Amino acid sequence: MSAKELDVATEPRVTVDDLRHRAENLKTQAMAEAKRAADAVVAQEATKTILVVAGVVIVAASLAYLLGTRRGRAAIMEQAGL
């Protein structure tokens, strides 16, 4: 084998423009991924907030119902003279 046969196939050279384009593509992909992640977090927080508000409303309604029934029962007992 001669030295010419052992030469590794030459690969095309990478230019500064190639590197710049690759960097821009990576930057674009990173920005898109960051936006998707941020949107997912916002969506989760909104869901949690809605569930907490719904829970508070249910607790308040239950408490109002309980207090209303006790007051009505006390009024009936008072009228009956007990």
Task: Label residue 70 by pLDDT band (50, 70, 90).
Answer: confident
pTM of whole model > 0.75? no
Both tokens assigned to 24: 């821009």
- Rounded CA-CA distance 76/82 in Å is 9
Three-state secondary structure along 15-44?
CHHHHHHHHHHHHHHHHHHHHHHHHHHHHH
Task: Label residue 1 by pLDDT band (50, 70, 90).
Answer: low
Predicted local confidence at residue 22, as pLDDT: 95
Q: What is the CA radius of gyration of the chain?
A: 36
Q: What is the pLDDT of residues 18-48, one digit of tens each?
A: 999 999 999 999 999 999 998 888 788 888 8
